[in-house]
Amino acid sequence: MKVLKFGGTSIGTVERFSNAVNIIKNKLHEDEIVVVLSAIGGVTDRLIKSIELASRGERQYVNILENIKSIHFNFLTQLVHEPFRKETAFELDHVISTLYSKLRGIFLVKEASKKTKDSILPSGEYLSNSLLIGALKSAGINSRFFDSKNFIRTDSTFGEANVNFEVTNKLINEYFYQQGRFPQSLDGKFVAVVNGFTGSDDEGNLTTLGRSGSDYTAAIIGAALKVDSVEIWTDVNGVLSADPKIVNDPFPIRELDYNEVAEIASFGAKVIFPKSMEPLQKENIPLVILNSFNPEGEGTIIRNRRTGESDIRVVTSMKNLSLVMLEKQNSKESLEILSRLLGILSRHELTYLLNGRTILQQSISFITSSFTSEELIKEVQTEFSKELKSSVITKIGLINNVAVVSIFNGKKNQYSTNRIFEVLAANKIKIHLFFHRSCIEDISIVIDEKNEEKVINLIHEELYRNETKSFGVNVA
């Protein structure tokens, strides 16, 4: 058995939606299939906007709902044939009507709690799932809707609920097998269609799973059912050596292990949210990242342990950041200063911390969101006012509009980081901060945000200087 997850971009147009149906149809020749579906691209954003408008008492929320309705009925007329069109239209109308009622309630009271938002945001998944079932039936494929609210049990942390895996795993197996809902002897011609992003708490209230919620749904189900693999169908050829929006024609990385992907993702790579990988890593189930626009491509396979000696050279970045530096004398107070600084960061719930070096001197440094930096720097200055007066801390500096560019250079690549510094120096790129990570050749550098794209292209070109697409990357 396999779990296939399709994201919003993979079903964002009628043509792409139809392509997803064809991928599912072809996969049915190999195995039994569970499909997890996101909302059509842009729909969840529209729902968020409609909630904002309604909570401000602005009637334009109705226009957004009309637009959502129009999108789905346009898909309906082109994807779903009789005798399934009437049934699907009824299901779409039911979801839209419920949306109207809930948003009108928000409009009247001019307020929307997180609980109310979670009752609305999964509507995009309910709409797309209805379309997929109708389209599959129109293609002669037996399919059935498996509502994830019935078997993914969470707490009541609305917006980013935590999964109760003990209860959820039991419910998934009961729902799919023990109650006879998932036939095991239909020659691989049955598709279970599941709405991603969605769960429910012990009171039956809808909850959402947060960032990459549909990926997480696929992983939860795959781990519980102990499937052969989980496939994430997206709009790129797997994990790439750099962001394709920045680097032209980056190289695909054919194989990674879960720990490598988690590290790459934590430094800005748009791969898969680490939380979504945890259930699969625990059950030793492979995760495959594939391109729905290039179904014949190999993609990237992620396992607990790589089977070959794949070459990993990846450049990632994060921006909209600020750099705070506490320049200090060498003193016995260093650990105390760091401890107090960590306390401030904890109070602000900052999750990203760097303790690196400048080119010329030692400092305690950290990165924070540009949106919180001004408030944060004032608190740091107040906290360390005594140390500033006594010159234990010589300066507290703030540099806004910086980016962090990270280089993952692979354990087998004895590539000198000095060469990267030479290339950047030759191009007059100023480095504010740098630090090494697990591998001595893996580094992150802090630069001015305006230089982000130039720096990524320079480093990527240096890492792949002797590679050509005709020969590809050294992969297993």
CB 300 within 8 A of CB 288: yes
Question: What single string gives the DSSP state of each residue in 9-52?
Answer: GGGSSHHHHHHHHHHHHHHTTTS-EEEEE-PPTTHHHHHHHHHH
Give the model's confidence band at 359: pLDDT under 50 very low, under 70 low, under 90 confident, else very high: very low
Query: Position of tokens 């507290």?
Result: 396
Domain ranges in the chain?
2-234, 314-463
Percent of the chain with pLDDT over 90: 59
Q: What is the mean pLDDT of residues 235-264?
A: 90
55 — phi, psi (to 5°)? Answer: -70, -20
Taking only the tens place, the pLDDT of each residue in 313-350 is 899 999 988 888 887 766 566 677 778 888 887 776 66
CB contact burial 224-235 (16+ within 10 A = b; e otherwise)? bbebebbbbbbb
Give dist(CA 144, CA 86) in Å, integer.
16
Half-sphere exposure of 379 (CA within 13 A, CB side): 14
Q: Residue 362: what pLDDT?
A: 62
Residue 385 has pLDDT above 80, yes or no: yes
CB 79 within 8 A of CB 17: yes
Task: Examine domains 2-234 and 314-463 and report if their fold is the same.
Answer: no
Taking only the tens place, the pLDDT of each residue in 13-68 is 999 999 999 999 999 877 789 999 999 999 999 999 999 999 999 999 999 999 99
Give dist(CA 124, CA 194) in Å, integer.
13
| Nearest alpha carbon to residue 240 among 251, 225, 226, 256 | 251
CB 333 within 8 A of CB 390: no
Q: Residue 470: what pLDDT?
A: 37
CB 80 within 8 A of CB 138: yes
Largest Cα separation within the chain, whole Å, is 82
- For 314-463, which CATH class? alpha beta
Give dist(CA 1, CA 225) in Å, integer.
9
More confident residue, 108 or 391: 108
Give the model's confidence band at 116: pLDDT under 50 very low, under 70 low, under 90 confident, else very high: very high
Q: Residue 311: what pLDDT?
A: 65
Residue 372 has pLDDT above 80, yes or no: no
Please, which residues bridge with residue 403 across strands? Answer: 447
Give the model's confidence band at 410: pLDDT under 50 very low, under 70 low, under 90 confident, else very high: low
Q: Residue 178: what pLDDT?
A: 63
| Nearest alpha carbon to residue 473 among 389, 413, 429 | 413
Q: What is the mean pLDDT of residues 396-400?
A: 84
Torsion angle of C-alpha atoms 312, 318, 322, 325, degrees rounded to 10: -10
CB contact burial 407-441 (16+ within 10 A = b; e otherwise)? bbbbeebeeebeebbeebeeeebebbbbbeeeeeb
Taking only the tens place, the pLDDT of each residue in 77-98 is 999 999 999 999 999 999 999 9
Helix count and strand count (H, E) for the chain: 15, 15
Residue 131 has pLDDT above 70, yes or no: yes
Q: Is 350 helix (H, G, I), strand (E, B) or coil?
A: coil
Q: Is 193 helix (H, G, I), strand (E, B) or coil?
A: strand
Query: Position of tokens 């945890």?
Result: 278
Q: Residue 212: what pLDDT?
A: 83
Residue 355 has pLDDT above 80, yes or no: no
Q: Residue 206: what pLDDT?
A: 97
Q: Determine which helix (DSSP H) or strand (DSSP E) holds 291, and give its type and residue range.
A: strand 287-291
Q: Residue 472: what pLDDT?
A: 35
Q: What is the mean pLDDT of residues 291-312?
A: 84
More confident residue, 380 or 285: 285
Tokens standing for residue 247: 């680097």
Taking only the tens place, the pLDDT of each residue in 257-282 is 998 888 888 888 887 888 899 999 99
Q: Determine which helix (DSSP H) or strand (DSSP E) holds 375, and give its type and residue range.
A: helix 373-383
Please compute Rg for the chain using Cα positions.
25
Question: What single string gives the DSSP state of each residue in 384-438?
Answer: THHHHHTTSEEEEEEEEEEEEEEEE--TT----HHHHHHHHHHTT----EEEE-S
Q: Residue 356: what pLDDT?
A: 56
Q: Determine which helix (DSSP H) or strand (DSSP E) holds 444, and give its type and residue range.
A: strand 443-448
Taking only the tens place, the pLDDT of each residue in 204-227 is 999 999 978 999 999 999 999 999
Give dist(CA 1, CA 88) in Å, integer.
27
Give CA angle at 431 (398, 393), nearest 5°: 40
Residue 473 has pLDDT above 50, yes or no: no
Residue 449 has pLDDT above 60, yes or no: yes
CB 228 within 8 A of CB 1: yes
Mean residue pLDDT across the chain = 87
Taking only the tens place, the pLDDT of each residue in 164-204 is 999 999 999 998 886 555 554 444 468 999 999 999 999 99
CATH 3.40.1160.10 applies to domain 2-234 = yes
